[in-house]
């Protein structure tokens, strides 16, 4: 009888529970993607919401009763105060009305003057037909919506590198004003591999007049990304690609002043900064929570790894070590290292863990010091791109890393990799650091990487 009453009381409490609505973003301003999170909602009926007369589309998260939606603020979105009006439904089906205030800022966008070949400013009449045809093709692609979610979690930048031109800059080519810059230009050498930031379908792959070698990925739910000025495209229209798959190589094709990657994002045709999407921790909602929150990789539980070297010297109660995932590599083969950071002190330590492996060059380097990473040099960006991890005494934070600021790690003959982990570049200044968070520098002992001809033959 008691068990029955307890179950009834629990069911009644759940039925009365009010769903919650929250909004996450780097900033509420033009050119940003906002994540609308509804929790405690019915798992059978999606919430409904609208902002400035436009309905939001919600999709389910990994946990029951949690729903997500993107809200994109276009580069020309009206500024000022508005409200996101929503109707949520609890598990019993009762409706709850919410009005979440949003004050949309204008954002600060600079003016950039560029010199390019004159044919890209005033094209020849013979090119007009091609340009118009490509514009129509792009318009059709932007309008198409894949209703299925193809991405599995957070979006990562396609290459590591500093921005040479930022989203929203007003462009002046050879003295003539043009449309605002609707993407990010990332500095890189010709041939640098460009990786898919998330799973998706290729909707365009080939040369265009202005953007040169171009790839467009449709990630579903209105999310599309574009990669321009490629020297090579390694996918074709219709291909399904996985997160991290190489889709092309950096080049200097089309209207450019030098080699770089132009990375752009459109969300339901709204022009938004792709880094604003990469800053959202979608893994927290779309991936099941791991049994051990300190194990960021399945390799952490493997028993067949090469022997671990001794721990490095302790700093601030933490110490580190690294080891390769394989016992042997071919010379020049991409190398992945397992990084372990242990709390050797008596009290719990708190660490800001950088989520994006590319951006993790902010805090670590192999046989080199950590290097600044432009997307995490401000306090707000760093906080959005990190997860606060609690490491209890004697426990280990474990994750994989296959690159640093110098690019992908490659196995070399007679190479030993020592890691340096530090937070010097995680925030713009020490005044922006969060109180209670570990700040310091860790050095691991060198980890030997075995290179063999047998591994080289196996690779071939």
Please tell me the predicted confidence (pLDDT) of residue 187: 83
CATH number at residue 79: 2.60.40.10
Please tell me the predicted confidence (pLDDT) of residue 175: 44
Same domain, 98 and 120: no
The number of C-alpha atoms within 13 Å of 98 and in the hemisphere containing its C-beta is: 27
Asked whether residue 8 is assigned to any structural domain, the reply reads: no
Please tell me the predicted confidence (pLDDT) of residue 235: 96
The number of C-alpha atoms within 13 Å of 444 and in the hemisphere containing its C-beta is: 27
Burial letters for 249-264: b for 16+ Cβ neighbours within 10 Å, e otherwise? bbbebbbbeebbbbbb
List the strands of the sheet with 54-55, edge to edge: 54-55, 48-51, 80-89, 95-104
Q: For 232, which DSSP code?
A: E
Same domain, 161 and 273: yes
Same domain, 131 and 51: no
Same domain, 116 and 260: yes
Q: Which of 224, 253, 278 is the last residue of a domain?
A: 278
Asked whether residue 338 is assigned to any structural domain, the reply reads: yes
Same domain, 234 and 116: yes
Tell me the H-state helices in 291-408: 379-384
331 Cβ partners below 8 Å, 6+ apart?
Answer: 411, 412, 413, 451, 456
Burial letters for 180-217: b for 16+ Cβ neighbours within 10 Å, e otherwise? bbbbbbbbbebebbbbbbbbbbbbbbeebbbbbbbbbb
314 Cβ partners below 8 Å, 6+ apart?
Answer: 344, 345
Q: Which two tokens stand for residue 250?
A: 């950096």
Do residues 300 and 293 lie in contact, with contact meaning Cβ atoms separated by under 8 Å?
no
Same domain, 169 and 246: yes
Query: What is the tally of helices (H) and strands (E) in the chain?
Result: 6, 33
Asked whether residue 345 is assigned to any structural domain, the reply reads: yes
Task: Look at residues 436, 445, 446 and name the one whose alpha carbon lies nearest to residue 317.
Answer: 436
Task: Look at residues 301, 307, 302, 332 and name the one whose alpha carbon lies nearest to residue 322.
Answer: 307
Alpha carbon 206 to its chain's center: 25
Q: Which two tokens stand for residue 36?
A: 């609308």
Please tell me the predicted confidence (pLDDT) of residue 458: 40
Tell me the H-state helices in 288-376: none
Q: Which two tokens stand for residue 188?
A: 């890189």
CA distance 373 to 357: 12
CATH number at residue 122: 2.70.70.10
Same domain, 239 and 309: no
Same domain, 198 and 118: yes
Asked whether residue 30 is assigned to any structural domain, the reply reads: yes
Do residues 255 and 116 lie in contact, with contact meaning Cβ atoms separated by under 8 Å?
yes
State which H helix or E strand residue 39 sits in: strand 33-39
pLDDT per 10-residue tile (average), the chain, 460 residues: 51 66 90 94 95 95 94 91 95 94 78 51 72 88 92 90 61 49 82 94 93 95 95 95 94 86 92 90 83 88 89 94 90 89 94 83 85 58 74 95 84 83 68 72 91 52
Task: Look at residues 45, 37, 22 and name the one whose alpha carbon lies nearest to residue 95.
Answer: 45
Helix (H, G, I), strand (E, B) or coil at 447: strand
Asked whether residue 221 is assigned to any structural domain, the reply reads: yes
Same domain, 426 and 296: yes
Same domain, 82 and 142: no
Number of domains in the chain: 3
Give the range of the structural domain holding residue 187, as residue numbers without chain letter.
111-278
Dihedral in degrees, nearest 10, Cα atoms 406, 410, 414, 416 = 60
Q: Which of 58, 73, 104 is the last residue of a domain?
A: 104
Q: Is the CA virtual torsion 263, 198, 77, 285 positive or negative?
A: negative
Same domain, 421 and 346: yes
Please tell me the predicted confidence (pLDDT) of residue 391: 95
CA distance 420 to 401: 13
């Amino acid at each position: 009888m008691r068990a029955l009453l307890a179950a009834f009381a629990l069911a009644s409490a759940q039925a009365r529970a009010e769903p919650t609505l929250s909004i996450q973003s780097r900033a509420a301003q033009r050119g940003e993607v906002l994540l609308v999170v509804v929790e405690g909602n019915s798992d059978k009926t999606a919430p409904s919401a609208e902002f400035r007369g436009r309905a939001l589309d919600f999709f389910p998260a990994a946990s029951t009763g949690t729903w997500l939606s993107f809200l994109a603020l276009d580069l020309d979105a009206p500024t000022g105060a508005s409200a996101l009006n929503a109707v949520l439904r609890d598990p019993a089906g009762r409706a709850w009305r919410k009005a979440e205030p949003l004050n949309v800022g204008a954002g600060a966008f600079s003016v950039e003057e560029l010199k390019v070949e004159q044919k890209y400013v005033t094209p020849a009449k013979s090119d007009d037909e091609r340009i118009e045809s490509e514009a129509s093709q792009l318009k059709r692609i932007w309008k198409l919506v894949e209703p299925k979610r193809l991405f599995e979690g957070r979006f990562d930048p396609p290459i590591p590198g500093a921005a040479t031109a930022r989203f929203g800059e007003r462009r002046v080519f050879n003295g003539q004003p043009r449309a605002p810059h609707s993407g990010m230009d990332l500095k890189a050498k010709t041939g640098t591999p460009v990786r898919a930031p998330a799973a998706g379908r290729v909707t365009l792959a080939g040369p265009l007049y202005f953007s040169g070698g171009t790839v467009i990925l449709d990630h579903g739910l209105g999310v599309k990304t574009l990669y321009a000025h490629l020297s090579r495209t390694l996918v074709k229209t219709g291909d399904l690609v996985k997160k991290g798959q190489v889709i092309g190589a950096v080049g200097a094709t089309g209207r450019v002043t030098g080699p770089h990657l132009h990375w752009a994002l459109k969300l339901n045709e709204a022009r938004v900064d792709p880094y604003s999407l990469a800053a959202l921790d979608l893994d927290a909602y779309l991936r099941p929570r791991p049994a051990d929150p300190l194990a960021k990789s399945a390799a952490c539980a493997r028993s067949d790894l090469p022997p671990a070297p001794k721990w490095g010297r302790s700093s601030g109660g933490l110490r580190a070590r690294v080891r390769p995932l394989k016992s042997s590599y071919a010379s020049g083969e991409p190398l992945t290292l397992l990084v372990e950071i242990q709390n050797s002190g008596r009290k719990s330590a708190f660490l800001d863990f950088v989520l994006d492996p590319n951006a993790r060059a902010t805090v670590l380097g192999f046989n080199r010091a950590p290097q600044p990473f432009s997307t995490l040099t401000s306090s707000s960006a760093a906080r959005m791109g990190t997860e606060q991890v609690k490491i209890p005494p004697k426990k280990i934070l474990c994750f994989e890393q296959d690159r640093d600021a110098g690019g992908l790690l490659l196995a070399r003959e007679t190479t030993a990799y020592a890691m340096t982990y530090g937070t010097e570049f995680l925030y713009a200044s020490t005044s922006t650091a969060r109180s209670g968070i570990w700040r310091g520098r860790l050095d691991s002992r060198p980890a030997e990487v075995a290179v063999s001809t047998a591994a080289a033959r196996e690779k071939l």
